[in-house]
């Protein structure tokens, strides 16, 4: 596991998986810092704990999201481990494969130069399934695996553009999709990444 500032890129399959990922990263051992929805910080107890643990709030909107990325970049430069769910929410892909990622993770990687370590997971959806909202609290098999850092050297030093950010993000998501396929012992989908209808409507 790399020392110093690092970005952990994780596929998001359940509202239960942040606790599992936090435990996994803590055992590496690193203190995890998540990019988390700002609304969670307004909860009486959870919000207090999130702030005390150095978690990073993210608001919707370009300006607020940019501020969150600046805070994440500062944390990485200070040597912390920042956990990013590139998809921005639990996957809406019908079979729960990683869907198209948002480009914030690419901007974070290119501006800090920090290694991007993929963390693939499978099994948390058995605790809480984001598409059906079914909850099963009995013991379920869960597999989490961290891979080697993704090689992004060819993109470093290039002028940052929307096209470059999309390409780097897709490289990260492709790696996650491949790693998840190994955990699932299945062939990963081919072709373009799934884009949720709500995101398509905003374009």
Is 134 inside any structural domain? Answer: yes
The CA R_g of the chain, rounded to the nearest whole Å, is 16
Q: How many residues does the chain have?
A: 203
Integer CA distances (angstroms), 188 to 15, 85, 177, 184, 193, in order: 23, 19, 6, 9, 11
- Alpha carbon distance 185, 192 (integer Å): 21
Question: Would 1 be classed as within a structural domain?
Answer: no
- Answer whether residue 130 is part of any domain: yes
Containing structural domain, residue 187: 6-202
CATH number of domain containing 95: 3.40.1130.10
What are the residues facing 10 on neighbouring strands? 119
pLDDT digits (tens, 9 = 90+) for 46-71: 778 788 888 888 876 656 678 889 99
Prediction pTM value: 0.90
For the chain, how many structural domains are there in total?
1
On whether residue 18 sits in a domain, the answer given is: yes
List pLDDT tens digits, range 5-37.
Answer: 999 999 999 988 988 999 999 998 999 999 877
């Amino acid at each position: 596991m790399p020392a110093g500032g690092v970005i952990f890129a994780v596929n998001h399959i359940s509202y239960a998986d942040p606790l599992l990922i936090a435990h996994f990263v803590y055992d590496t051992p690193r203190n995890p810092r998540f990019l988390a929805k700002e609304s969670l910080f307004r909860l009486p107890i959870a919000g207090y704990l999130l702030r005390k643990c150095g978690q990073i709030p993210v608001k919707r909107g370009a300006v607020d999201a940019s501020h969150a990325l600046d805070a994440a970049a500062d944390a990485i430069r200070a040597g912390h481990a920042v956990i990013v769910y590139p998809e921005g929410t639990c996957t809406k892909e019908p079979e729960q494969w990683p869907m198209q990622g948002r480009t914030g993770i690419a901007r974070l990687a290119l501006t800090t130069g920090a290694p991007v370590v993929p963390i693939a997971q499978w099994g948390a959806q058995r605790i809480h399934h984001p598409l059906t909202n079914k909850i099963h609290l009995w013991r379920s098999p869960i597999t989490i695996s961290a891979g080697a850092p993704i090689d992004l050297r060819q993109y470093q030093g290039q002028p940052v553009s929307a096209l470059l950010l999309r390409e780097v993000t897709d490289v990260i998501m492709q790696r996650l999709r491949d790693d998840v396929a190994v955990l699932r012992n299945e062939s990963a989908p081919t072709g373009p990444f799934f884009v949720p209808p709500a995101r398509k409507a905003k374009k």
